[in-house]
Amino acid sequence: MAKFRIRVSTGKACGAGTWDKVSVCIVGRRGESPLLPLDHLGKEFTAGAEEDFEVTLPHDVGPVLLLHVHKAPLALPRPLGPLAPDDAWFCRWFQLEPPGGIPLRFPCYQWLEGAGDLLLREGAAKVSWADHHSILRRQRQEELQSRQLMYRWKTYSPGWPHCLDQATAKDLDLNVKYSVVKNTKFYMKGSSAFAELKIKGLLDRTGLWRSLREMRRMFNFRKSPAAEYVFEHWQDDTFFASQFLNGLNPVLIHRCRSLPKNFPVTDDMVAPILGPGTSLQAELEKGSLFLVDHGILSGVSTNVINGKPQFSAAPMTLLYQSPGNGPLLPLAIQLSQTPGPNNPIFLPTDDKWDWLLAKTWVRNAEFSVHEALTHLLHAHLLPEVFTLATLRQLPSCHPLFKLLIPHTQYTLYINTLARELLIAPGQVVDRSTGLGIVGFSELIQRNMEQLSYSVLCLPEDIRARGVEDIPNYYYRDDGMQIWGAVERFVSEIVGIYYPSDASVRDDQELQAWVREIFSKGFLDRESSGVPSSLDTQEALVRYVTMVIFTCSAQHSAVSAGQFDSSVWMPNLPPTMQLPPPTSKGQAQPEGFIATLPPVNATCDIIIALWLLSREPGDQRPLGTYPDEHFTEEAPQRSIAAFQNHLTQISRDIKERNQKLALPYPYLDPPLIENSVSI
């Protein structure tokens, strides 16, 4: 007979404790024990508790391999028994101390709802080829089979990345749902915003805004220093241009070495901005001209709002980096991809309202491309693919599972909720954006056909767009620092568990994970450059860095500023109610107002972006790992070094931001969530 000490840690979250009865079976190399109840007088497993138990095994099971945990409902007298709700329990970990042996930690970090069983492994991470015992090999296979039954793929829309096969968020497994605190704050926040605009009589008003002055009622809905800056500077050319660098969609601007043939800008047009002694050709050769091309919007389907057809443009915007460390300035805007007499090139020297209307059309194009592609596709749908593949192909003992699972938290929940409340027919995107669901879907299909691996890898994307040295590009500066920190961290973790390139090739679970992402996320399109297998340590480091960066920093960069940029609606209109101008000299204040979105659509979008711009509690910033999946010293040292690196980056960003009229906080590590969770 052998006595084991067992310590059990229950999570602190609301509802984490349980009244149910918990038993364990210890599985060793020479057999397994019967189920051994963990039972004291009174209640066990209260939220936040760590409790010790002593169990006696009737026979020696040998060196411990697994811990089998069984949870059974508390026996209740009828008729209450069948009516008693399932009692969920969040177990953090078990610690098993064999007689005279070294304590073994068994990470769990899972909800167990109602009656159920878990098989837990000691916390040392193991790749598949490192598991030599048949019991352990069978355990990891059975775990994956169970997860693959629970988390299935479906096609939500043709040409989109595949997603979780679940219709409603309420039906999701408890392990991927919002916590009680996060869920409560999320719905309270949405309800308060809805109620405020309803009471003000704005939410149901289908007509036009009466004036820009009246729009300030909307602006007063919620304020932030950044939103106030937008309100004060939205008409300024320098602010208009700066948003291509540090606004919501900082991923389109690229250096222009030759003017597109369908954008016939002339020297005479831009001479007032370029000044004497230079020319377009000279500036092109110098590398001081940049282009933002929204051509992907050309011919896209548009929506009907309040019974009125909406309109879209596919503009091209030429920008000039003034000498020294001067501001980026807009030089010319063409609102469609086909030049001609009905498609004038608008210039800063045009009438004030002509030029402002042209810039506003560009900002509407930014809204459409950002929300459909930069935000929804790249920063939500692809992270969902990474999340599902991780759950389906990597067992919990796998080092990459331990590394990646913090970067998947709540992603399945928020995306399922989005398919219910945002991108379903009749919901927000369909009610209140210029493209609606049909236009969004077309954009995603088009982008999926041209999406490349290099676009998702920040250093390569920066080089490909030729923007390595454009000044005041804080998205690039901060993003590159964070990419470097993540890459160093991933490199250390990979080095611990993969001693050679061959060890990468031989990990069949890793290869299945990569293959499933390629198949379900990138639809087997080899021209994307996305790998379908990984052959080297270097390739693995790059790939995992891309996944973590996309699920954390990139999402923050394109999501956290949505409300700041949009609450003053003329800066980022979600739709346009009149067609793009076909001549100059026609724009007037009344026509400008008539082009902008109606009142109800404005409010609908602002509420959504207010919700989606701020984490509703239960925050886990980049680099924080309250769930200790790694138990060995080497990865724990790497985590500590990563955290220290992020702290230094944050210090540098805060110091720079103190000197800026409009700080750029969206890639400050404490403000970056570990995962796509809102």
Q: What is the pLDDT of residue 83?
A: 42
Binding-site residues from annotation? 15, 17, 39, 87-88, 375, 380, 555, 678
Domain over 1-31+89-120 is classified CATH 2.40.50.100? no
In this structure, are residues 73 and 20 in contact, taking their beta carbons and an 8 Å threshold?
Answer: yes
The residue type found at 76 is: L
**CA 297/CA 476 separation, integer angstroms:** 25
Q: What is the DSSP letter of 377?
A: I
Phi, psi of 222 (to 5 degrees): -145, 150
pTM, two decimals, is 0.97
**CA 396/CA 109 separation, integer angstroms:** 10
Size of the chain, expressed as the number of residues it contains: 678
What are the beta bridge partners of residue 55? Answer: 4
Q: What is the pLDDT of residue 43?
A: 83
Q: What is the pLDDT of residue 372?
A: 98
In the numeric block, which tokens belong to residue 401?
């599972």
CB atoms within 10 A of CB 565: 23
Q: What is the pLDDT of residue 42?
A: 76
Binding-site residues from annotation for Fe cation? 375, 380, 555, 678
Tell me where in the chain the CATH 1.20.245.10 domain(s) lie: 137-251+377-578+591-677
In the numeric block, which tokens belong to residue 234?
């939205």
What's the CATH number for 137-251+377-578+591-677? Answer: 1.20.245.10
The distance of Cα 642 from the centroid of its chain, to the nearest Å, equals 20
**CA 668/CA 652 separation, integer angstroms:** 9
List Cβ neighbours of 344 (8 Å cut-off, separation of 6 or more). 334, 581, 582, 583, 584
**CA 400/CA 510 separation, integer angstroms:** 8
CB atoms within 10 A of CB 448: 19
Q: What is the pLDDT of residue 218?
A: 72
**CA 423/CA 417 separation, integer angstroms:** 9
DSSP secondary structure letters along 431-456: HHSSSHHHHHHHHHHHHHHH--HHHH
**CA 313/CA 362 separation, integer angstroms:** 8
**CA 161/CA 383 separation, integer angstroms:** 10
Tell me where in the chain the CATH 2.60.60.20 domain(s) lie: 1-31+89-120
What are the beta bridge partners of residue 111? Answer: 90
Q: What is the pLDDT of residue 75?
A: 67
Q: What is the pLDDT of residue 84?
A: 44
**CA 132/CA 30 separation, integer angstroms:** 15
**CA 105/CA 95 separation, integer angstroms:** 4
Q: Can you tell me which residue has the tokens 């088009």?
A: 446
Q: What is the pLDDT of residue 74?
A: 78
- Can you say whether the dihedral through the CA atoms of 564, 556, 373, 307 is positive or negative? negative
Binding-site residues from annotation for Ca(2+)? 15, 17, 39, 87-88
CA-wise closest residue to 154 among 145, 166, 146, 144: 166
Axis crossing angle, helix 508-516 with helix 382-393, rounded to the nearest 10? 150
**CA 51/CA 379 separation, integer angstroms:** 41
Weakly modelled stretches of the chain, pLDDT under 70: 75-86, 219
Q: Can you tell me which residue has the tokens 């592609």?
A: 373
Phi, psi of 209 (to 5 degrees): -65, 145
